[in-house]
Structure 1
Amino acid sequence: MNIFEVTFVAAVLTATTPVVLAALGGMLCSVSGVFNMALEGQMLWGAFTAVVFSHLTGDVWLGVLGAVTCTVLYAAILSFSAVSARADPVVIAVGTNLLALGLTAFLMRLVFGSGGTYSSPDLRGLPTLAGLGLGEVPLAGPILGPQSPLVPLTLVLVVAVAWWLSRTRSGLRLNGIGQHQEAAESLGLKVGAYRHAAVLGAGALCGLAGAQLALGNVTLFSEGMSAGRGWVAVVAVMLGRNRVYGVVAACLLFGVAEAYGFRLQGAGLPQQAADAAPYVITLIALVLVQLRRRRRRARPGGLESDTVHAEGAAR
């Protein structure tokens, strides 16, 4: 298989976009000093609310707006608990993930009258860039044509977040808060406000991720349809070590594996094996990175070197 084939590249972009959006949110939280493991539940909640609002209003963009708004409100649970109440963010995140799984299944029966999967010819999905006139653009047309407008928006957000964190006063302050909270407080920075903003911003990004997943990649909602993508986003933050482009590269690894799994499934590979391939590859990558870090620590001066890298990861 040619990995540079335009249809394969288009499939990679489609698979990667929701994970990149969620991982950007998780990275912002990590930079601020809050480890956000709630990305899975927030993405699922965003997918559900996107379909609900699109179904009720008949307008897909109101569906996207509803997903972002509702997911920000859902992220406020983690924000209040972890930042204001200073509860353990891991415990709260696991709880909100489980809540999203049960709540979406319950509300699905309440809103749509059935469980499992909701799909309807009346459900409006996101338009494609080809439908907006970009399908005939040389070279980029076949790749971007099948994508929703949220895909190029994601590319813009990646560049914007990287620039903001490294070039703006507020971005550098967020970095400083994550690295040295006490020093930031001594300078008069409102640590809680920055962390609230990071967690709620991550909620907005997860809302976009859910909308892309449910109304861009497909046009339906299925119980548990996030299918571990939020956890992959958490792993991408760890692999990328809080560097924007490192996080995106880790997400691309997942996207390539998922797109390749679909190709193998078409060639006769059992569906279960094809579905598991992206997560297996992500797990292998995480293990390899951890082994590399252990070897670095085992070298003379390795502990100091690893500490320097850990501090630089927040920059």
Structure 2
Amino acid sequence: MELFDLSLISSAIRMVSPILLAALGGALCARVGLFNVGLEGLVLVGAFSAIVGNHLTGSLLFAILFAIAATLLFSLLFGYMTIRLKANEIIVGVAINFLAMGLTTFALRAVFGVKGAFYDKDMAGLPQWQIPILHDIPVLGPIVSGHSPLVYLAFLSAIALTFFFYRTVTGFRVLAVGINPVAAGSLGLKVTRLQFLAIALCGVFCGLAGAQLSLGQVTMFSEGMTAGRGFIALVAMMLGQSHPLGILASSLLFGLMDALSIRLQGFSLPTQFTAMLPYVLTIAAMFFLKGRGDNVNSAGQYSTR
């Protein structure tokens, strides 16, 4: 078994999708001045809701919509508490994470009557799209073809969000709110409305991330299956300076480490060692950010103390 080959890159692209989608959602919140540490909980809710939706309806489309609706509800709860009630966003985000962990564990027993994990061999996962013509290209085909629709949507979302931020009027207003909400409000911008819009879109992205995790990669749900991906998404967002293309690059790095950790298990290495690789990279990335001498503020820009 080779350590580095085309299948590793293809696996990295598949692994990066939940991280990338969640990080893009976190960037939307950061751009309106809110640091959302509840991404872990939102993705977990999305993963569980996608399985429930698929189990109840048998439709993958309704499963994805169900995941989006559930995470949107949690995301709006975060927005209500931080914007309307002026609660501390870090505390609210941590509370969302704990609430999601406890609620999904309870619901797993209440809905499916099982503990630990739910798996149905008859449940269909997301389809793997084989792109015509591109699939037959020797090197490029095996890498970019054969992924679920949400994988392609994740990469397209990074491009679309870049266009939204820097080529649309609403995107410029969102950036203005993040830079200085008081000044933006004095210009007549609806600061609260734009913040809720960003938070709602964050919920949509996290719902898609959860659906990809539970239906696109494994077709099952287990307690705490996000395994820190929401926190890794936060680091990817910070490393990419809240720029969608920067987030895409940093997420690819984390996705590669995730795929590499699974590949190393085939070389008789201890599972505990291989599983910690993505988190070691996360810690290293945080030291990299700290060592640059500047601090990234919530609007994704640099400020020096």
TM tier, smaller? over 0.9
Distance 1:20 1:2, change over 3 A: same
Structure 2 CA distance, aligned partners of 1:13 and 1:136? 16
Match of 1:299 in 2: none
Match of 1:120 in 2: 120
Structure 1 CA distance, aligned partners of 2:132 and 2:104? 36
In the alignment, is residue 137 of structure 1 matched against residue 136 of structure 2? yes
Letter of the aligned partner of 2:136 in structure 1?
V
Please report how far the alpha carbon of residue 119 of structure 1 lies from its aligned counterpart in structure 2 after TM superposition: 0.6
Letter of the aligned partner of 1:56 in structure 2?
L
**Structure 2 residue ranges without an equivalent (≥5):** none
CA contact (8 A) 1:33 1:178 kept: yes
Distance 1:273 1:2, change over 3 A: closer
CA contact (8 A) 1:46 1:208 kept: yes
Match of 2:283 in 1: 283
Distance 1:244 1:69, change over 3 A: same
Please report how far the alpha carbon of residue 134 of structure 1 lies from its aligned counterpart in structure 2 after TM superposition: 7.1
Letter of the aligned partner of 1:164 in structure 2?
F
Distance 1:115 1:135, change over 3 A: farther
Distance 1:271 1:134, change over 3 A: farther
Question: Which segments of structure 1 move beyond 6 Å, counting only runs of 4 or more?
Answer: none
Identity, % of aligned positions: 40
The 5 Å alignment of 1:230-249 reads 230-249=230-249
Match of 1:65 in 2: 65
Structure 2 CA distance, aligned partners of 1:17 and 1:6? 17
Structure 1 CA distance, aligned partners of 2:166 and 2:114? 48
Please report how far the alpha carbon of residue 2 of structure 1 lies from its aligned counterpart in structure 2 after TM superposition: 6.3
CA contact (8 A) 1:129 1:135 kept: no
Structure 2 CA distance, aligned partners of 1:27 and 1:231? 13
Match of 1:181 in 2: 181
More helix by share: 1
In the alignment, is residue 195 of structure 1 matched against residue 167 of structure 2? no
| TM-score normalized by the length of structure 1 | 0.91
Structure 1 CA distance, aligned partners of 2:192 and 2:210? 27
The 5 Å alignment of 1:84-123 reads 84-123=84-123
Letter of the aligned partner of 2:263 in structure 1?
R
Partner SS, residue 22 of structure 2: helix
Match of 1:8 in 2: 8
**Structure 1 residue ranges without an equivalent (≥5):** 294-305
CA contact (8 A) 2:24 2:158 kept: yes
Match of 1:78 in 2: 78
Q: Deviations over 1:139-158 (max 9, x none)?
A: 44312333101111111111
Structure 1 CA distance, aligned partners of 2:48 and 2:133? 29
CA contact (8 A) 1:39 1:206 kept: yes
Count of aligned positions: 300
Structure 2 CA distance, aligned partners of 1:45 and 1:102? 10
